[in-house]
Amino acid sequence: MKIAGYNKLDKPNGNESQTIMSDLIPPPIRVGAVSYLNSKPLIEDLEELADNAELMLDYPSLLADDLAAGRIDVGLIPSIEVIRSSEYEIISNACIATQGPVLSVKMYSRVPLGQIRRLALDMGSRTSATLVRIMLAEQYGVYPEVEPLPIEQAIESSSADAILLIGDRAIHAPEASFVATWDLGEEWLRWTGLPFVFAMWAVRRDQDTGLLESALCRARDKGVTLLGEIARREAPKLGIDESVAESYLKNNLSFYLGPAECCGLRLFQDLAIKTGLAPEGVPLVFRNCISAG
Ligand SMILES: C=C(O[C@@H]1C=C(C(=O)O)C=C[C@H]1O)C(=O)O
C-alpha cells in the first residue's frame, strides 16, 4: 500500500515527529473485493491507482456482512444488498454484469423445474440466491424451501431437488447429470431482454472515499485491456483452460454499469419487492451523480 508523500517527512526529534506523522497520515480506506476470477479485471493495480486503499478479497456474501458491520469501508457487494439497504451508495460505474449466459451462475435441478421443493443456495451468494427464487416464483409458481450449501461443499453433498452455484466453482461442469440446468444470466436475458448486474461497488453513506471512485474506474479501464493476460495468469490457479477463462472474461461478463444495466437493476428491485425478498422504498443512490439510467 502506498501512502502519498508522508513517508518522505524528515524525523527531527524521534517521538515528536511520530506524533506529527500519525496526525498527517489518513487511515487507509479498506476495500473488499470478490475473490473470484470475475473480479480480477476490476482490481488490476487498484492499490497503486488508489493511493490510500488497502485491498482484501472474500466471498460476496461475506463482503456484504463486512460492509454492513464496518469492517470494510467500500465493498464489491452483491447488488441485492444495495437494493435491500438505504445505508448504501453505489460508487463508480464499475460492476460485474452480464448480458446473456454468465457461465458462473448456475442452477442444477434433479427434478422438472415446476417440481422443485427444496433448493440449496451457495452460501457465497446473495444476488443469485434471490434471482433464482424470483425466477422460480414468477415463471413456475414455485416457492421452494431454501437451505444453505456451504462454500466448501460440493453439489453431491446436497440432497436438495435443485442447487444454485456461483463463482469459480460453477465454471466447472458437474459430473452428475441433471434434469434441467439454468444459466441465470441467460434465463434473465431471455425473460426480460435486459442485462443483469450481480455486484457493484458500494459504500456506507457517511463514508468519505476521497478519490477512490476515479481509481475504481481507472482500475477497471486498465483491467478490461488486460483480459487475456488476466486469464493466462489466473486459469492455472482455477484448473480451467486459459481459453475458457479468457472467453468468460471477454464474452460472458461486462464491467460497466450503463443505462441498460441500470434498467435491469431496477427491474430486479421491482421483482424482489414483489416476491417479498426486498423492502419497498429503498432508493438506488449513485455517489457523485453517476447516471442511474
Ligand atoms: C457472476 C457472478 O457474480 C457474482 C454473484 C454474486 C451473488 O450471487 O451474490 C455476487 C458477486 C459476484 O461475484 C459469479 O460470482 O459467478
Question: 173, exposed or middle or buried, with CB in 10 Å at 0-12, 13-18, 19+?
Answer: exposed
16 Cα: distance to centroid of ligand 1 (angstroms): 48
The secondary element (H helix, E strand) that includes residue 164 is strand 162-166
Determine the pLDDT at residue 4: 29
Q: Which of 42, 61, 166 has most ligand 1 atoms within 8 Å of its beta carbon, as the pocket-test mutant? A: 166
Q: Which amino acid is at 183?
A: D
The pLDDT tens digits of the residues spanning 64-122 come to 999 999 999 999 999 999 999 999 999 999 999 999 999 999 999 999 999 999 999 99
- 171: closest CA among 233, 67, 101? 101
- pLDDT digits over 119-150, tens only? 999 999 999 999 999 999 999 999 999 999 99
What's the pTM value of the predicted model, to 2 decimals? 0.91
CA distance 41 to 174: 26
ipTM over 0.95: yes
Quote the ligand 1 centre to 257 CA distance (angstroms). Answer: 15
* 3-state DSSP assignment of residue 204: strand
Nearest-atom number in ligand 1 for the CA of 199 is 11
C-alpha grid cell, residue 265:
437493476
Give yes or no for a contact between 215 and 49, defined as CB atoms under 8 angstroms apart: yes
147 near 97, Cβ under 8 Å?
Answer: no
User: Residue 25: is it exposed, middle or buried by C-beta count within 10 angstroms (0-12/13-18/19+)?
Assistant: middle
Q: Which domains occur in the chain, in start order? A: 6-95+196-289 (3.40.190.10), 105-192 (3.40.190.10)
Alpha carbons 267 and 32: distance in angstroms, whole number: 27
Residues whose CB is less than 8 angstroms from the CB of residue 233 and which lie 6 or more positions away in sequence, other chains included:
none
Predicted confidence at residue 210, as pLDDT, reads 86
Pocket, ligand 1, Cβ cutoff 6 A: 34, 36, 38, 60, 78, 96, 102, 104-105, 125-128, 166-167, 170, 198-199
Cell readout for 20 is 506529527
Q: At what angle do helices 259-274 and 184-192 cross, to 10 degrees?
A: 90
